[in-house]
Amino acid sequence: MAITDCGEPLAPLPDGLPRITPHPYARLGAPYPLGRGPWRLRLAVAVRLLRARSILQGAHPGWDLQIFDAWRPIAVQAFMVDHSLQTELARASPSQQADPAWRRQVEQQVHRLWAIPSEDPRTPPPHSTGAAVDVTLVNQTGTPVPMGSAIDALGPESHPDHFATDPHGVTAHHNRLRLRQAMLAAGFVMHPWEWWHFSYGDQLWAWRTGQAAARYGVVASGG
């Protein structure tokens, strides 16, 4: 998918929009540029995030979005790919660690969840463009509601419709639908494998909405 970057700058997330603090990846030591934190999105994406918030609260008064991650430099993408892989390997038994087939399976799971940290400007990781956001929901008391899995979960439960036919996952499925409905109504598209990942203006958005080109390419410095 072609990219014709419109040159729109990154903008800070709107004041008052809940976010997970400290930032999950920064807390791990991810290499964000000095003075260039993760709480940024392209301006039009930030505007649509506010629209999604308004739509959500119109249907569910008192509820709110909670931002997990926004702009993510390629260096941070590479850091998190390695961190995710090393975490899974550390959890394994010695016999699993010695099994090449098991290791290949884990690597496939990690690379399915995390986009390749490509330096090729034709194939930027979605978050590096400032067009993608990872988001969940909180209720009237500011408490996170059940979503069925953690953000960045490697298993099948990360699929948006994983709990659609599970009688034990009704609440999680309904909450995922609440989030999805608000975000899609605001112009975002949803990642096909991740209930938490939405974007506007990147290559996934262009592909899923039938656009000739994406609006946003990689933002290297966060400027």
194 among known catalytic residues? yes
Please report which residue ranges of 38-133 form alpha helices under DSSP H: 43-59, 74-91, 94-97, 100-113
- pTM greater than 0.85 (yes/no): yes
Q: Which of 131, 138, 91 is nearest to 110 (CA)?
A: 91
135: domain range?
A: 2-73+121-214
pLDDT of residue 99: 82
Is residue 90 situated within a structural domain? no
pLDDT at 154 over 70: yes
Residue from 8, 88, 119, 194 carrying the catalytic annotation = 194
Is residue 194 situated within a structural domain? yes
Is residue 68 situated within a structural domain? yes
Is residue 103 situated within a structural domain? no
User: Once rounded to an integer, what is the mean pLDDT over residues 197-218?
Assistant: 98
pLDDT band at 222 (very low <50, low <70, confident <90, very high): low
Q: What is the CATH number of the domain that holds 19?
A: 3.30.1380.10
Is residue 222 situated within a structural domain? no
Is residue 87 situated within a structural domain? no
What does the mean pLDDT of the chain come to? 94
pLDDT of residue 91: 83
pLDDT at 25 over 90: yes
pLDDT at 152 over 80: yes
Is residue 28 situated within a structural domain? yes
pLDDT of residue 196: 98
pLDDT (tens digit per residue) in 79-110:
999 999 999 888 878 888 788 888 888 888 88
User: Once rounded to an integer, what is the mean pLDDT over residues 54-72?
Assistant: 97
For residue 123, what are its two tokens?
């194939």
pLDDT of residue 201: 98
Is residue 221 situated within a structural domain? no
Q: Helix-strand-coil percent breakdown of the chain, rounded to 5?
A: 40, 15, 45
> Looking up tokens 């008391």, which residue turns up?
141
pLDDT at 223 over 60: no
pLDDT (tens digit per residue) in 100-145:
888 888 888 888 889 999 999 999 999 999 999 999 999 999 999 9
Q: How many domains does the chain have?
A: 1
Stretch among 2-6, 36-40, 180-184, 209-213 having the lowest mean pLDDT = 36-40
pLDDT of residue 94: 83
Decide: 191 and 199 in contact? Cβ < 8 Å: yes
pLDDT band at 183 (very low <50, low <70, confident <90, very high): very high
**Inter-helix orientation angle 170-185/43-59, to 10°:** 130
